[in-house]
Structure 1
Protein backbone atom coordinates (compact mmCIF):
# COMPACT_ATOMS: atom_id res chain seq x y z
CA UNK A 1 0.00 0.00 0.00
CA UNK A 2 1.47 3.34 -1.02
CA UNK A 3 2.22 6.10 1.49
CA UNK A 4 0.11 9.19 1.26
CA UNK A 5 -3.05 7.42 0.24
CA UNK A 6 -6.18 9.21 1.35
CA UNK A 7 -8.98 7.15 2.79
CA UNK A 8 -12.09 7.60 0.66
CA UNK A 9 -14.53 7.35 3.58
CA UNK A 10 -12.95 9.56 6.26
CA UNK A 11 -10.78 11.78 4.10
CA UNK A 12 -7.81 11.12 6.42
CA UNK A 13 -4.36 10.15 5.16
CA UNK A 14 -3.28 6.59 5.87
CA UNK A 15 -0.01 5.44 7.43
CA UNK A 16 0.59 2.67 4.93
CA UNK A 17 -0.26 -0.08 7.39
CA UNK A 18 -3.01 -2.53 6.62
CA UNK A 19 -4.32 -5.62 8.47
CA UNK A 20 -6.84 -7.86 6.75
CA UNK A 21 -8.12 -5.01 4.69
CA UNK A 22 -8.26 -2.58 7.62
CA UNK A 23 -6.21 0.52 6.95
CA UNK A 24 -4.61 2.57 9.70
CA UNK A 25 -5.46 6.26 9.49
CA UNK A 26 -2.90 8.92 10.26
CA UNK A 27 -5.36 10.96 12.38
CA UNK A 28 -3.94 14.01 14.15
CA UNK A 29 -4.28 14.35 17.94
CA UNK A 30 -7.29 16.62 18.69
CA UNK A 31 -6.33 20.15 19.65
CA UNK A 32 -8.34 20.04 22.92
CA UNK A 33 -6.07 17.21 24.08
CA UNK A 34 -2.96 19.35 23.42
CA UNK A 35 -4.56 22.28 25.21
CA UNK A 36 -5.48 20.10 28.19
CA UNK A 37 -1.95 18.69 28.43
CA UNK A 38 -0.49 22.18 28.33
CA UNK A 39 -2.94 23.43 30.95
CA UNK A 40 -2.34 20.51 33.31
CA UNK A 41 1.41 20.71 32.85
CA UNK A 42 1.38 24.44 33.57
CA UNK A 43 -0.75 23.90 36.67
CA UNK A 44 1.62 21.21 37.91
CA UNK A 45 4.62 23.48 37.51
CA UNK A 46 2.82 26.39 39.19
CA UNK A 47 1.68 24.19 42.09
CA UNK A 48 5.20 22.82 42.56
CA UNK A 49 6.57 26.34 42.79
CA UNK A 50 3.87 27.77 45.06
CA UNK A 51 3.26 24.85 47.45
CA UNK A 52 5.52 22.53 49.50
CA UNK A 53 6.83 19.87 47.17
CA UNK A 54 10.30 18.46 46.56
CA UNK A 55 12.39 16.93 49.38
CA UNK A 56 15.94 18.03 49.89
CA UNK A 57 18.97 17.30 52.04
CA UNK A 58 17.96 19.72 54.79
CA UNK A 59 14.21 19.48 54.59
CA UNK A 60 11.90 20.19 51.68
CA UNK A 61 11.01 23.02 49.35
CA UNK A 62 8.34 24.98 51.25
CA UNK A 63 6.84 26.81 48.30
CA UNK A 64 6.59 30.51 47.62
CA UNK A 65 3.24 30.76 49.45
CA UNK A 66 4.73 29.31 52.64
CA UNK A 67 1.80 26.94 53.22
CA UNK A 68 2.35 24.60 56.19
CA UNK A 69 -0.21 21.96 57.19
CA UNK A 70 1.35 21.60 60.63
CA UNK A 71 0.58 25.25 61.29
CA UNK A 72 -2.89 24.87 59.80
CA UNK A 73 -3.68 21.91 62.10
CA UNK A 74 -2.39 23.76 65.16
CA UNK A 75 -4.51 26.77 64.29
CA UNK A 76 -7.52 24.54 63.74
CA UNK A 77 -7.03 22.89 67.13
CA UNK A 78 -6.66 26.27 68.81
CA UNK A 79 -9.88 27.47 67.22
CA UNK A 80 -11.67 24.26 68.25
CA UNK A 81 -10.45 24.59 71.83
CA UNK A 82 -11.61 28.21 71.93
CA UNK A 83 -15.02 27.23 70.59
CA UNK A 84 -15.25 24.37 73.12
CA UNK A 85 -14.26 26.63 75.99
CA UNK A 86 -17.28 28.82 75.31
CA UNK A 87 -19.66 26.04 76.42
CA UNK A 88 -17.34 23.74 78.38
CA UNK A 89 -16.86 26.32 81.13
CA UNK A 90 -20.62 26.77 81.41
CA UNK A 91 -21.28 23.05 81.62
CA UNK A 92 -18.50 22.54 84.14
CA UNK A 93 -19.86 25.25 86.43
CA UNK A 94 -23.58 24.44 86.07
CA UNK A 95 -25.51 21.79 87.99
CA UNK A 96 -27.25 18.92 86.22
CA UNK A 97 -30.79 20.24 86.60
CA UNK A 98 -29.90 23.67 85.19
CA UNK A 99 -28.14 22.11 82.21
CA UNK A 100 -31.16 19.89 81.51
CA UNK A 101 -33.36 22.99 81.56
CA UNK A 102 -31.12 24.85 79.07
CA UNK A 103 -31.87 23.70 75.51
CA UNK A 104 -28.72 25.26 74.07
CA UNK A 105 -26.53 23.32 76.52
CA UNK A 106 -28.53 20.13 75.97
CA UNK A 107 -27.87 20.40 72.25
CA UNK A 108 -24.16 20.43 73.10
CA UNK A 109 -24.76 17.36 75.26
CA UNK A 110 -26.46 15.55 72.38
CA UNK A 111 -23.72 16.39 69.89
CA UNK A 112 -20.61 16.05 72.04
CA UNK A 113 -22.00 13.34 74.32
CA UNK A 114 -22.76 11.13 71.33
CA UNK A 115 -19.13 11.33 70.21
CA UNK A 116 -17.81 10.70 73.72
CA UNK A 117 -20.08 7.70 74.11
CA UNK A 118 -19.10 6.27 70.73
CA UNK A 119 -15.39 6.68 71.50
CA UNK A 120 -15.40 5.38 75.07
CA UNK A 121 -18.53 3.38 75.88
CA UNK A 122 -20.08 1.90 72.73
CA UNK A 123 -17.46 -0.83 72.50
CA UNK A 124 -19.09 -2.52 75.52
CA UNK A 125 -22.59 -1.08 75.76
CA UNK A 126 -23.33 -0.88 72.03
CA UNK A 127 -23.83 2.08 69.72
CA UNK A 128 -27.37 2.63 71.05
CA UNK A 129 -26.43 1.83 74.68
CA UNK A 130 -28.67 -1.24 74.66
CA UNK A 131 -25.92 -3.47 76.04
CA UNK A 132 -24.95 -7.00 75.10
CA UNK A 133 -23.78 -10.25 76.69
CA UNK A 134 -22.01 -9.25 79.89
CA UNK A 135 -22.76 -5.53 79.55
CA UNK A 136 -25.89 -3.82 80.91
CA UNK A 137 -28.49 -1.98 78.87
CA UNK A 138 -28.09 1.71 79.73
CA UNK A 139 -30.98 2.96 77.64
CA UNK A 140 -33.86 0.82 78.90
CA UNK A 141 -32.99 -1.32 81.90
CA UNK A 142 -33.23 -0.06 85.49
CA UNK A 143 -29.93 1.46 86.58
CA UNK A 144 -28.26 -0.93 89.00
CA UNK A 145 -26.75 1.86 91.12
CA UNK A 146 -29.57 4.34 90.60
CA UNK A 147 -30.35 6.80 87.81
CA UNK A 148 -29.79 10.10 89.58
CA UNK A 149 -27.30 12.26 87.64
CA UNK A 150 -24.84 12.39 90.52
CA UNK A 151 -24.96 8.60 90.90
CA UNK A 152 -24.34 7.94 87.21
CA UNK A 153 -21.49 10.47 87.16
CA UNK A 154 -19.92 8.76 90.18
CA UNK A 155 -20.17 5.35 88.52
CA UNK A 156 -18.46 6.69 85.41
CA UNK A 157 -15.78 8.36 87.51
CA UNK A 158 -14.80 5.45 89.77
CA UNK A 159 -15.98 2.46 87.69
CA UNK A 160 -17.19 -0.91 88.94
CA UNK A 161 -14.60 -3.39 90.19
CA UNK A 162 -12.19 -0.97 88.56
CA UNK A 163 -8.75 0.45 89.26
CA UNK A 164 -9.84 3.45 91.33
CA UNK A 165 -9.43 3.15 95.12
CA UNK A 166 -13.00 4.52 95.31
CA UNK A 167 -14.42 2.08 92.76
CA UNK A 168 -17.82 0.50 93.29
CA UNK A 169 -17.70 -3.19 94.07
CA UNK A 170 -20.25 -5.68 92.81
CA UNK A 171 -19.82 -9.44 92.82
CA UNK A 172 -22.21 -12.37 92.74
CA UNK A 173 -21.12 -15.39 94.71
CA UNK A 174 -20.41 -18.70 92.99
CA UNK A 175 -23.05 -20.76 94.78
CA UNK A 176 -22.30 -23.95 92.88
CA UNK A 177 -18.56 -23.79 92.37
CA UNK A 178 -18.00 -22.92 96.04
CA UNK A 179 -20.53 -25.59 97.13
CA UNK A 180 -22.87 -23.24 98.94
CA UNK A 181 -25.84 -24.80 97.16
CA UNK A 182 -26.32 -28.29 95.81
CA UNK A 183 -27.12 -28.99 92.17
CA UNK A 184 -30.75 -29.68 93.04
CA UNK A 185 -31.03 -26.44 95.02
CA UNK A 186 -29.54 -24.48 92.15
CA UNK A 187 -32.06 -26.00 89.73
CA UNK A 188 -34.90 -25.12 92.11
CA UNK A 189 -33.88 -21.50 92.60
CA UNK A 190 -33.26 -21.10 88.86
CA UNK A 191 -36.84 -22.21 88.18
CA UNK A 192 -38.07 -19.68 90.75
CA UNK A 193 -36.02 -16.86 89.18
CA UNK A 194 -37.33 -17.80 85.74
CA UNK A 195 -40.90 -17.66 87.02
CA UNK A 196 -40.46 -14.04 88.09
CA UNK A 197 -40.21 -12.77 84.51
CA UNK A 198 -41.67 -15.65 82.49
CA UNK A 199 -45.41 -16.22 83.00
CA UNK A 200 -45.24 -19.55 81.19
CA UNK A 201 -42.79 -20.87 83.77
CA UNK A 202 -44.83 -19.48 86.66
CA UNK A 203 -47.97 -21.19 85.38
CA UNK A 204 -46.40 -24.54 84.49
CA UNK A 205 -44.05 -25.13 87.44
CA UNK A 206 -45.29 -27.02 90.48
CA UNK A 207 -46.30 -24.68 93.33
CA UNK A 208 -44.20 -26.70 95.80
CA UNK A 209 -41.14 -26.27 93.59
CA UNK A 210 -41.67 -22.51 93.34
CA UNK A 211 -42.19 -22.25 97.09
CA UNK A 212 -38.94 -24.13 97.72
CA UNK A 213 -37.16 -21.88 95.21
CA UNK A 214 -38.54 -18.77 96.92
CA UNK A 215 -37.18 -20.02 100.25
CA UNK A 216 -33.73 -20.68 98.78
CA UNK A 217 -33.81 -17.24 97.16
CA UNK A 218 -34.80 -15.54 100.42
CA UNK A 219 -31.98 -17.27 102.32
CA UNK A 220 -29.21 -16.78 99.74
CA UNK A 221 -30.09 -14.08 97.18
CA UNK A 222 -32.49 -11.58 98.72
CA UNK A 223 -29.74 -9.88 100.70
CA UNK A 224 -28.48 -8.37 97.44
CA UNK A 225 -31.39 -8.60 95.02
CA UNK A 226 -34.18 -7.83 97.51
CA UNK A 227 -37.05 -10.01 98.67
CA UNK A 228 -39.00 -9.23 95.49
CA UNK A 229 -35.88 -9.74 93.35
CA UNK A 230 -36.23 -6.23 91.94
CA UNK A 231 -32.62 -5.34 92.66
CA UNK A 232 -30.94 -3.05 95.17
CA UNK A 233 -29.08 0.10 94.23
CA UNK A 234 -27.12 -0.06 97.48
CA UNK A 235 -25.30 -3.17 96.29
CA UNK A 236 -25.60 -2.65 92.53
CA UNK A 237 -27.55 -5.90 92.22
CA UNK A 238 -29.72 -6.06 89.07
CA UNK A 239 -33.47 -6.55 88.89
CA UNK A 240 -34.21 -10.25 88.26
CA UNK A 241 -37.95 -9.81 87.80
CA UNK A 242 -37.98 -7.83 84.57
CA UNK A 243 -37.15 -8.57 80.93
CA UNK A 244 -33.59 -7.24 81.03
CA UNK A 245 -30.66 -9.59 81.52
CA UNK A 246 -26.96 -8.83 81.49
CA UNK A 247 -25.67 -12.37 81.04
CA UNK A 248 -28.76 -13.92 79.42
CA UNK A 249 -32.21 -14.84 80.70
CA UNK A 250 -32.47 -18.38 79.36
CA UNK A 251 -32.32 -21.22 81.86
CA UNK A 252 -28.78 -22.28 80.98
CA UNK A 253 -27.43 -18.72 81.38
CA UNK A 254 -29.21 -18.18 84.70
CA UNK A 255 -27.88 -21.49 86.01
CA UNK A 256 -24.38 -20.57 84.85
CA UNK A 257 -24.62 -17.27 86.75
CA UNK A 258 -25.78 -18.98 89.94
CA UNK A 259 -23.19 -21.74 89.69
CA UNK A 260 -20.10 -19.71 88.71
CA UNK A 261 -21.03 -16.25 90.00
CA UNK A 262 -20.48 -12.96 88.23
CA UNK A 263 -18.10 -10.02 88.64
CA UNK A 264 -18.40 -7.58 85.77
CA UNK A 265 -15.89 -4.77 85.36
CA UNK A 266 -16.29 -1.18 84.24
CA UNK A 267 -13.17 0.99 83.90
CA UNK A 268 -12.61 3.96 86.16
CA UNK A 269 -12.78 6.92 83.79
CA UNK A 270 -11.37 9.54 86.14
CA UNK A 271 -8.04 10.68 84.69
CA UNK A 272 -9.01 9.45 81.22
CA UNK A 273 -11.92 11.85 80.87
CA UNK A 274 -12.20 15.35 82.27
CA UNK A 275 -14.90 16.18 84.85
CA UNK A 276 -16.73 18.08 82.09
CA UNK A 277 -16.62 15.06 79.78
CA UNK A 278 -17.95 12.83 82.58
CA UNK A 279 -20.79 15.29 83.11
CA UNK A 280 -21.52 15.30 79.38
CA UNK A 281 -21.62 11.50 79.29
CA UNK A 282 -23.91 11.43 82.32
CA UNK A 283 -26.38 13.81 80.71
CA UNK A 284 -26.19 11.97 77.41
CA UNK A 285 -27.04 8.64 79.06
CA UNK A 286 -29.92 10.27 80.94
CA UNK A 287 -31.18 11.72 77.65
CA UNK A 288 -31.11 8.23 76.11
CA UNK A 289 -33.05 6.83 79.05
CA UNK A 290 -35.66 9.58 78.97
CA UNK A 291 -36.19 9.01 75.25
CA UNK A 292 -37.13 5.38 75.96
CA UNK A 293 -39.63 6.19 78.69
Structure 2
Protein backbone atom coordinates (compact mmCIF):
# COMPACT_ATOMS: atom_id res chain seq x y z
CA UNK A 1 0.00 0.00 0.00
CA UNK A 2 1.38 3.35 -1.08
CA UNK A 3 2.19 5.75 1.72
CA UNK A 4 0.54 9.20 1.37
CA UNK A 5 3.09 11.97 0.92
CA UNK A 6 2.58 15.54 2.09
CA UNK A 7 4.49 18.72 1.46
CA UNK A 8 6.34 19.65 4.66
CA UNK A 9 5.82 23.42 4.11
CA UNK A 10 2.14 23.68 3.06
CA UNK A 11 0.90 20.40 4.41
CA UNK A 12 -0.91 19.59 1.13
CA UNK A 13 -0.80 16.10 -0.33
CA UNK A 14 1.45 15.58 -3.34
CA UNK A 15 0.68 13.71 -6.54
CA UNK A 16 3.84 11.71 -6.27
CA UNK A 17 5.26 13.34 -9.40
CA UNK A 18 8.61 14.97 -9.19
CA UNK A 19 10.68 16.95 -11.73
CA UNK A 20 14.21 17.98 -10.95
CA UNK A 21 13.50 17.94 -7.25
CA UNK A 22 10.22 19.85 -7.57
CA UNK A 23 7.21 17.95 -6.24
CA UNK A 24 3.71 18.61 -7.65
CA UNK A 25 1.06 19.44 -5.05
CA UNK A 26 -2.38 17.86 -5.25
CA UNK A 27 -4.29 21.05 -4.35
CA UNK A 28 -8.04 21.47 -4.95
CA UNK A 29 -9.47 23.95 -7.50
CA UNK A 30 -10.00 27.31 -5.73
CA UNK A 31 -13.55 27.86 -4.53
CA UNK A 32 -13.77 31.20 -6.36
CA UNK A 33 -12.97 29.57 -9.70
CA UNK A 34 -15.63 26.92 -9.14
CA UNK A 35 -18.25 29.55 -8.26
CA UNK A 36 -17.32 31.56 -11.36
CA UNK A 37 -17.65 28.51 -13.62
CA UNK A 38 -21.03 27.58 -12.11
CA UNK A 39 -22.41 31.14 -12.45
CA UNK A 40 -21.29 31.51 -16.07
CA UNK A 41 -22.78 28.18 -17.07
CA UNK A 42 -26.09 29.01 -15.37
CA UNK A 43 -26.08 32.40 -17.10
CA UNK A 44 -25.46 30.77 -20.48
CA UNK A 45 -28.35 28.33 -20.00
CA UNK A 46 -30.71 31.17 -18.99
CA UNK A 47 -29.70 33.21 -22.06
CA UNK A 48 -30.37 30.18 -24.29
CA UNK A 49 -33.97 30.20 -23.10
CA UNK A 50 -34.53 33.98 -23.05
CA UNK A 51 -32.78 35.17 -26.23
CA UNK A 52 -32.68 34.04 -29.87
CA UNK A 53 -29.92 31.45 -29.79
CA UNK A 54 -29.95 28.16 -31.65
CA UNK A 55 -30.18 27.80 -35.44
CA UNK A 56 -32.88 25.38 -36.61
CA UNK A 57 -32.41 24.89 -40.32
CA UNK A 58 -34.03 27.92 -41.97
CA UNK A 59 -35.04 29.53 -38.67
CA UNK A 60 -33.82 29.76 -35.07
CA UNK A 61 -35.11 29.64 -31.52
CA UNK A 62 -36.89 32.93 -30.80
CA UNK A 63 -36.38 33.02 -27.05
CA UNK A 64 -38.96 33.64 -24.33
CA UNK A 65 -38.39 37.43 -24.47
CA UNK A 66 -39.09 37.49 -28.23
CA UNK A 67 -36.16 39.87 -28.73
CA UNK A 68 -35.44 40.30 -32.46
CA UNK A 69 -32.65 42.73 -33.33
CA UNK A 70 -33.61 42.56 -37.00
CA UNK A 71 -37.07 43.93 -36.16
CA UNK A 72 -35.52 46.50 -33.84
CA UNK A 73 -33.24 47.82 -36.59
CA UNK A 74 -36.11 47.90 -39.08
CA UNK A 75 -38.27 49.84 -36.64
CA UNK A 76 -35.44 52.29 -35.96
CA UNK A 77 -34.91 52.82 -39.69
CA UNK A 78 -38.62 53.42 -40.30
CA UNK A 79 -38.77 55.91 -37.43
CA UNK A 80 -35.62 57.69 -38.66
CA UNK A 81 -36.96 57.88 -42.21
CA UNK A 82 -40.22 59.37 -40.94
CA UNK A 83 -38.36 61.99 -38.90
CA UNK A 84 -36.02 62.70 -41.82
CA UNK A 85 -38.86 63.03 -44.33
CA UNK A 86 -40.24 66.06 -42.52
CA UNK A 87 -37.13 68.25 -42.79
CA UNK A 88 -36.07 66.82 -46.17
CA UNK A 89 -39.40 67.96 -47.59
CA UNK A 90 -38.88 71.45 -46.19
CA UNK A 91 -35.39 71.66 -47.72
CA UNK A 92 -36.63 70.42 -51.09
CA UNK A 93 -39.36 73.05 -51.32
CA UNK A 94 -37.58 76.03 -49.73
CA UNK A 95 -35.12 78.21 -51.60
CA UNK A 96 -31.60 78.82 -50.32
CA UNK A 97 -32.43 82.14 -48.64
CA UNK A 98 -35.33 80.59 -46.74
CA UNK A 99 -33.17 77.71 -45.56
CA UNK A 100 -30.38 80.02 -44.39
CA UNK A 101 -32.91 82.13 -42.48
CA UNK A 102 -34.19 79.05 -40.60
CA UNK A 103 -31.83 78.24 -37.73
CA UNK A 104 -33.35 74.78 -37.22
CA UNK A 105 -32.84 73.83 -40.87
CA UNK A 106 -29.31 75.26 -40.87
CA UNK A 107 -28.49 73.15 -37.81
CA UNK A 108 -29.60 70.10 -39.79
CA UNK A 109 -27.62 71.31 -42.83
CA UNK A 110 -24.41 71.61 -40.82
CA UNK A 111 -24.86 68.18 -39.25
CA UNK A 112 -26.00 66.32 -42.37
CA UNK A 113 -23.72 68.34 -44.66
CA UNK A 114 -20.64 67.37 -42.67
CA UNK A 115 -21.53 63.68 -43.05
CA UNK A 116 -22.36 64.01 -46.77
CA UNK A 117 -19.13 65.89 -47.36
CA UNK A 118 -17.11 63.24 -45.58
CA UNK A 119 -18.78 60.45 -47.56
CA UNK A 120 -18.52 62.06 -51.00
CA UNK A 121 -16.10 65.01 -51.15
CA UNK A 122 -13.42 64.61 -48.50
CA UNK A 123 -11.41 62.08 -50.51
CA UNK A 124 -10.40 64.90 -52.89
CA UNK A 125 -10.94 68.11 -50.92
CA UNK A 126 -9.90 66.86 -47.49
CA UNK A 127 -12.00 66.35 -44.37
CA UNK A 128 -11.88 70.06 -43.53
CA UNK A 129 -12.39 71.12 -47.16
CA UNK A 130 -8.95 72.71 -47.39
CA UNK A 131 -8.05 70.83 -50.54
CA UNK A 132 -5.12 68.63 -51.46
CA UNK A 133 -2.46 68.74 -54.14
CA UNK A 134 -4.27 69.49 -57.43
CA UNK A 135 -7.65 69.84 -55.70
CA UNK A 136 -9.01 73.28 -54.73
CA UNK A 137 -9.42 74.63 -51.22
CA UNK A 138 -13.12 75.19 -50.48
CA UNK A 139 -12.58 77.28 -47.35
CA UNK A 140 -11.23 80.40 -49.04
CA UNK A 141 -13.11 82.88 -51.22
CA UNK A 142 -11.39 81.90 -54.46
CA UNK A 143 -13.81 80.11 -56.79
CA UNK A 144 -13.25 78.86 -60.32
CA UNK A 145 -16.92 78.67 -61.28
CA UNK A 146 -18.52 81.03 -58.76
CA UNK A 147 -19.01 80.83 -55.01
CA UNK A 148 -22.69 81.58 -54.51
CA UNK A 149 -24.79 78.73 -53.12
CA UNK A 150 -26.65 78.45 -56.41
CA UNK A 151 -23.42 78.25 -58.41
CA UNK A 152 -21.91 75.68 -56.03
CA UNK A 153 -25.06 73.54 -56.31
CA UNK A 154 -24.95 73.74 -60.10
CA UNK A 155 -21.28 72.71 -60.17
CA UNK A 156 -22.09 69.71 -57.98
CA UNK A 157 -25.07 68.79 -60.12
CA UNK A 158 -23.38 68.81 -63.54
CA UNK A 159 -19.70 68.31 -62.65
CA UNK A 160 -16.61 69.68 -64.37
CA UNK A 161 -15.33 68.04 -67.55
CA UNK A 162 -17.78 65.24 -66.77
CA UNK A 163 -20.13 63.21 -68.96
CA UNK A 164 -23.19 65.23 -67.96
CA UNK A 165 -24.70 67.00 -71.00
CA UNK A 166 -24.60 70.32 -69.11
CA UNK A 167 -21.18 69.74 -67.54
CA UNK A 168 -18.96 72.73 -66.98
CA UNK A 169 -16.09 72.50 -69.46
CA UNK A 170 -12.70 73.99 -68.73
CA UNK A 171 -9.24 73.19 -70.01
CA UNK A 172 -5.95 75.01 -70.24
CA UNK A 173 -4.05 74.23 -73.47
CA UNK A 174 -0.57 72.76 -73.34
CA UNK A 175 1.13 75.77 -74.91
CA UNK A 176 4.64 74.34 -74.90
CA UNK A 177 4.00 70.68 -75.60
CA UNK A 178 1.69 71.44 -78.53
CA UNK A 179 4.08 73.99 -80.02
CA UNK A 180 1.82 77.02 -79.53
CA UNK A 181 4.66 78.77 -77.71
CA UNK A 182 8.37 78.14 -77.91
CA UNK A 183 10.48 77.46 -74.83
CA UNK A 184 11.47 81.08 -74.28
CA UNK A 185 7.89 82.31 -74.60
CA UNK A 186 6.74 79.71 -72.07
CA UNK A 187 9.35 80.92 -69.59
CA UNK A 188 8.64 84.63 -70.07
CA UNK A 189 4.87 84.13 -69.84
CA UNK A 190 5.30 82.08 -66.64
CA UNK A 191 7.62 84.72 -65.18
CA UNK A 192 5.05 87.43 -65.87
CA UNK A 193 2.26 85.38 -64.25
CA UNK A 194 4.49 84.66 -61.26
CA UNK A 195 5.19 88.36 -60.81
CA UNK A 196 1.46 89.14 -60.57
CA UNK A 197 1.21 87.46 -57.16
CA UNK A 198 4.84 88.12 -56.19
CA UNK A 199 5.49 91.86 -56.72
CA UNK A 200 9.01 91.57 -55.27
CA UNK A 201 9.95 89.46 -58.26
CA UNK A 202 9.70 92.54 -60.48
CA UNK A 203 13.16 94.09 -60.47
CA UNK A 204 15.08 96.36 -62.84
CA UNK A 205 17.12 93.33 -63.86
CA UNK A 206 14.16 91.36 -65.26
CA UNK A 207 11.84 94.16 -66.39
CA UNK A 208 12.45 93.31 -70.04
CA UNK A 209 11.63 89.64 -69.43
CA UNK A 210 8.38 90.53 -67.66
CA UNK A 211 7.38 92.96 -70.38
CA UNK A 212 7.98 90.28 -73.02
CA UNK A 213 5.99 87.84 -70.88
CA UNK A 214 3.12 90.30 -70.65
CA UNK A 215 2.95 90.51 -74.43
CA UNK A 216 2.84 86.71 -74.65
CA UNK A 217 0.17 86.66 -71.95
CA UNK A 218 -2.04 89.20 -73.70
CA UNK A 219 -1.80 87.33 -76.98
CA UNK A 220 -2.46 83.85 -75.59
CA UNK A 221 -3.86 83.89 -72.04
CA UNK A 222 -5.99 87.00 -71.65
CA UNK A 223 -8.88 85.52 -73.61
CA UNK A 224 -9.60 83.24 -70.64
CA UNK A 225 -7.91 84.87 -67.66
CA UNK A 226 -8.79 88.46 -68.72
CA UNK A 227 -6.37 91.29 -69.41
CA UNK A 228 -6.09 92.08 -65.70
CA UNK A 229 -5.48 88.35 -65.02
CA UNK A 230 -8.30 88.19 -62.48
CA UNK A 231 -9.89 85.24 -64.20
CA UNK A 232 -13.25 84.48 -65.77
CA UNK A 233 -15.64 82.38 -63.74
CA UNK A 234 -17.85 81.63 -66.74
CA UNK A 235 -14.90 79.70 -68.19
CA UNK A 236 -13.51 78.34 -64.94
CA UNK A 237 -10.31 80.36 -65.53
CA UNK A 238 -8.68 81.18 -62.17
CA UNK A 239 -7.54 84.51 -60.84
CA UNK A 240 -3.76 84.73 -61.35
CA UNK A 241 -3.19 87.81 -59.18
CA UNK A 242 -3.87 86.29 -55.77
CA UNK A 243 -2.01 83.66 -53.78
CA UNK A 244 -4.51 80.82 -54.22
CA UNK A 245 -3.28 78.04 -56.50
CA UNK A 246 -4.71 74.64 -57.34
CA UNK A 247 -1.57 73.16 -58.89
CA UNK A 248 1.03 75.33 -57.17
CA UNK A 249 2.20 78.93 -57.53
CA UNK A 250 5.98 78.64 -57.55
CA UNK A 251 7.76 79.61 -60.76
CA UNK A 252 8.74 76.07 -61.76
CA UNK A 253 5.18 74.80 -61.35
CA UNK A 254 3.77 77.71 -63.37
CA UNK A 255 6.26 76.94 -66.15
CA UNK A 256 5.13 73.30 -66.07
CA UNK A 257 1.50 74.41 -66.20
CA UNK A 258 2.01 76.72 -69.16
CA UNK A 259 4.04 74.06 -70.96
CA UNK A 260 1.80 71.02 -70.33
CA UNK A 261 -1.63 72.54 -69.67
CA UNK A 262 -4.17 71.52 -67.03
CA UNK A 263 -7.56 69.85 -67.09
CA UNK A 264 -9.33 69.19 -63.82
CA UNK A 265 -12.26 66.86 -63.30
CA UNK A 266 -15.16 66.76 -60.89
CA UNK A 267 -17.80 64.03 -61.19
CA UNK A 268 -21.46 64.82 -61.59
CA UNK A 269 -23.53 64.14 -58.49
CA UNK A 270 -27.07 64.48 -59.83
CA UNK A 271 -27.51 60.70 -60.10
CA UNK A 272 -25.79 59.71 -56.87
CA UNK A 273 -27.27 62.41 -54.62
CA UNK A 274 -30.84 63.63 -54.32
CA UNK A 275 -31.80 67.27 -54.94
CA UNK A 276 -32.13 67.80 -51.20
CA UNK A 277 -28.68 66.33 -50.55
CA UNK A 278 -27.12 68.55 -53.23
CA UNK A 279 -28.75 71.60 -51.64
CA UNK A 280 -27.50 70.55 -48.21
CA UNK A 281 -23.97 70.00 -49.52
CA UNK A 282 -23.97 73.33 -51.39
CA UNK A 283 -25.03 75.16 -48.24
CA UNK A 284 -22.46 73.30 -46.18
CA UNK A 285 -19.59 73.99 -48.61
CA UNK A 286 -20.68 77.62 -48.82
CA UNK A 287 -20.48 77.86 -45.04
CA UNK A 288 -16.92 76.50 -44.91
CA UNK A 289 -15.30 79.73 -46.04
CA UNK A 290 -16.04 83.38 -46.54
CA UNK A 291 -19.63 83.63 -47.60
CA UNK A 292 -20.28 85.38 -50.90
CA UNK A 293 -23.54 87.01 -51.90
Q: CA RMSD in A?
A: 2.0
Q: Aligned partners of 1:269, 1:213: CA distance in 2, in Å?
A: 40
CA 1:27 to 1:177, structure 2 compared with 1: closer, same or farther past 3 Å? same
Is the aligned partner of 1:72 residue 2:88?
no
Q: What SS does the corresponding residue of 1:270 show, helix, strand or coil?
A: coil
Q: Which residue of 1 aligns with 2:231?
A: 231
Show the counterpart of 2:146: 146
The alpha-carbon deviation at position 221 of structure 1 amounts to 0.8
Runs (4+) of structure 1 moved beyond 4 Å? none
2:281 aligned with 1:281: yes
Contact between 1:15 and 1:25, CA under 8 Å: does it hold in 2?
yes
SS of residue in 2 equivalent to 1:17: strand
Map 1:44-59 to 2 at 5 A.
Answer: 44-59=44-59
The offset of 1:288, in angstroms, is: 0.7
Query: Are 1:120 and 2:124 counterparts?
Result: no
Instruction: Note if 1:38 corresponds to 2:43.
Output: no
Deviations 1:78-129 (A, max 9, x none): 1221222232222222222232233222221221111100100011111111
The range that moved more, 268-277 or 4-13, is 4-13
Q: Is the 8 A contact 2:194 2:251 kept in 1?
A: yes
- The Cα of 1:65 is off from its aligned counterpart by 3.2
CA-CA distance at 1:163 after TM superposition: 1.8
Bigger mean CA offset, 115-124 vs 237-246: 237-246
Task: Normalising by structure 1, report the TM-score.
Answer: 0.91
- Paired residue for 1:28? 28
Q: Which moved more, 1:49-58 or 1:217-226?
A: 49-58
The whole-number CA distance in structure 1 between the counterparts of 2:46 and 2:72 is 21
Determine the C-alpha separation between the residues in 2 that align with 1:137 and 1:204: 35
> How far apart, CA to CA, are the structure 1 residues paired with 2:202 and 2:76?
62
Offset of 1:200 from its aligned partner?
3.6
CA distance in 2, matches of 1:289, 1:200: 29
Does the 8 Å contact 1:125/1:136 carry over to 2? Answer: yes
What TM-score do the two structures reach when normalised by structure 2? 0.91
State how far apart, in whole Å, the 1-side matches of 2:204 and 2:68 are.
75
Aligned counterpart, 1:252: 252
Q: Provide the secondary structure at the position in 2 that maps to 1:234.
A: helix
Going from structure 1 to structure 2, the CA distance change for 1:203 and 1:104 (only over 3 Å counts) comes to farther
Contact 1:3 1:16 in 2 (8 A): no
Deviations 1:194-234 (A, max 9, x none): 11112342237511111111111111111111112111111
* DSSP-derived class of the 2:70 partner: helix
